[in-house]
Chain A
Amino acid sequence: MGDAEFTEYVTARASWLRKVAYLLCGDWHRADDLVQTGVTKLYTNWHRANKAWNLDGYVRKTLVNTFLAEQRSSWQRLVDLRGTDDDPATPELDREAVLDLRGALAALPPRQRAAVVLRYYCDLPVDEVARTLGCSLGTVKSQTARGLQTLRRLLESQPITATPES
């Protein structure tokens, strides 16, 4: 597939990718950097892509891997440097609940957070989450279970429901 298809795909999926990235990292600017990196890697391998390729799965995996790798590197210090002054004013309505969840997500270790986002936001089955994270089904189950446990503890005032993993 050529450049036109690449542009078409990224244009259509950029907003979704950005939301996934935002839930992973909790910051819109870092989310943009994650998407930029994911899209770059997609372009690097675009010549291998074809209609049968799971493009969404590939980019999602790239996004998650980049996020997890950045937790261990100093890159985030560099990529955060630009664009720090364009946050629009945010409306007051329903902010409290949303911010509580964002804070609770931020408290999760990165792999637990990734597992929760993939399982409950991307609505992926456990085996697909395992493929994305490069780990076993059991690990996904334990990561999401521990993540849910922490979220429930942190969000005591707004109990959450979620399908159990086991």
Chain B
Amino acid sequence: MTDLTSALAELADEPAPPMRLDLDRARRAGRRRRRLRHCSIAGGAAVILAAGLTLPQVFAPGEPPDQGVALPAAEGASTEHNPLRAYADFGWLPDSIAGVGYAVGAHGDNTLARGLGEFPAYIWLSVYDEEPGLNGQQQQAFAGEPARVPAEVGGRQGYWLTADARDPINGGDSYLRWQTEDGRWAELNAYYLNVPDPQQTLLRVAADVTFGTEPVPLPLRISELPANFRVEDALLSRPSGPDGGWDMQLIYNVNGGRVTIDVQPQDQRGMQDGAACKTEKGLRACVTVHQPQAVELDRIGGVQGVLDRITLLGLDERDWTTRVVG
């Protein structure tokens, strides 16, 4: 006979890969989430008080500047109307890249260029206000202080982070950092980059990166949301799988519960049904509620009430909007 408690302990003690906890990333994301709360509250107040008042304050007074991403500055970049913002974007990319996706929120802020297939090319783009140290993943990957091999990106100074100075691209898991024109720092992390000359390819990708906070066009419009809907995560994943496709997800924290809005092409495989779904203009949207007793959607018509606030904009990205909410 096996005691379950002992067996679980044995399972949890089995050999494991090195841990990838990144405390710096947790701090950055935590600060942003605090700001999102303030922003959402301010946005809700603006809806109640109607137009004509001063713009909602995006950041709480005294909130320290974020160390990991650019600060939204323009009205169009406000999370009041669009929770998904890109802090930097790619220009030129190699042919093996099929699309660019964006994510902000508790799971980190990313701009990700990705290919297709079982081992698609990945190029992650991050922006920092200051030259970053090593995150947890890098500390584990390098098992010590990595070498910094000088590089020049579009006339600006930078370097490769690598375990072996003779191999700037670090065996294919490559890190390239450079200082941007406004003094911030950018980093590319690329792997599975199946191109003849990864080093030159990444230098060209880096030189064509643009910086600035821009709202990402999304395939839906939401007429209005109650003030207690706080954005937790926003994601446009593109491509979303080895064969292509895309999906979009907005996750709202509502009184400690969670309301998730998923949108993807109607014919795409893998869509999880939510509590309420609808199909419009070739797209399917689903609303899922976790802990409905906390969310208390009754006063806005329940899950169906959330779904009814959504207008889908179709498959043609030219029809998508940066003014998603309101």
**Could you tell me which A residues sit within 8 Å of B by CB distance?**
3, 6-7, 10, 14-15, 18-20, 22-23, 28-29, 32-33, 35-37, 39-44, 46, 68-69, 72-75, 77-79, 81-83, 86-88, 90-91, 94, 97-98, 101-102, 105, 116-117, 120-121, 123, 134, 148, 151, 155, 158-162
Of A79, A88, A121, the contact of B8 (CB 8 Å cutoff): A121
Is the beta-carbon distance between B251 and A73 smaller than 8 angstroms?
yes
Is the beta-carbon distance between A160 and B1 smaller than 8 angstroms?
yes
11 CB < 8 A contacts A-B: A10-B26, A15-B19, A35-B21, A40-B25, A41-B106, A74-B262, A83-B137, A105-B11, A120-B4, A120-B5, A134-B294
Is the beta-carbon distance between A77 and B20 smaller than 8 angstroms?
no
Of B4, B16, B23, B235, most buried by chain A (CB within 10 Å of CB) is B4
Residues of chain A lying within 8 A (CB to CB) of residue B122: 81-82
Measured in the bound complex, the distance between the Cα atoms of B16 and A160 in whole Å is: 24
Residues of chain B lying within 8 A (CB to CB) of residue A73: 249, 251, 260, 262, 272, 288
Of B5, B11, B25, B106, the contact of A102 (CB 8 Å cutoff): B11
Of A7, A42, A44, most buried by chain B (CB within 10 Å of CB) is A44
**Interface residue B156 (Cβ < 8 Å from any Cβ of A):** no
Is the beta-carbon distance between B5 and A43 smaller than 8 angstroms?
no
List the 8 closest A-B pairs by CB distance, nearest first.
A43-B30, A19-B12, A162-B4, A121-B8, A44-B30, A40-B26, A32-B20, A39-B26
**Could you tell me which B residues sit within 8 Å of A by CB distance?**
1-5, 7-23, 25-27, 29-30, 33-34, 103, 106-107, 122, 137, 140-141, 233, 235, 237, 240-241, 247, 249, 251, 258, 260, 262, 270, 272, 288, 290-291, 294
Is the beta-carbon distance between B23 and A161 smaller than 8 angstroms?
no
Is the beta-carbon distance between A40 and B106 smaller than 8 angstroms?
yes
Is the beta-carbon distance between B16 and A75 smaller than 8 angstroms?
no
Is the beta-carbon distance between A72 and B17 smaller than 8 angstroms?
no
Measured in the bound complex, the distance between the Cα atoms of B8 and A75 in whole Å is: 26
Of A18, A40, A105, the contact of B29 (CB 8 Å cutoff): A40
Is the beta-carbon distance between A14 and B21 smaller than 8 angstroms?
yes
Known: A68-B290, A78-B107, A162-B5. A29 touches B17 (CB 8 A): yes
For B8, give the chain A residue with the smallest CB separation.
A121
Measured in the bound complex, the distance between the Cα atoms of B3 and A123 in whole Å is: 13
Is the beta-carbon distance between B235 and A78 smaller than 8 angstroms?
yes
Measured in the bound complex, the distance between the Cα atoms of B25 and A119 in whole Å is: 31
Min C-beta distance of A87 to chain B, whole Å: 5
Of A20, A43, A161, the contact of B2 (CB 8 Å cutoff): A161
Min C-beta distance of A85 to chain B, whole Å: 8
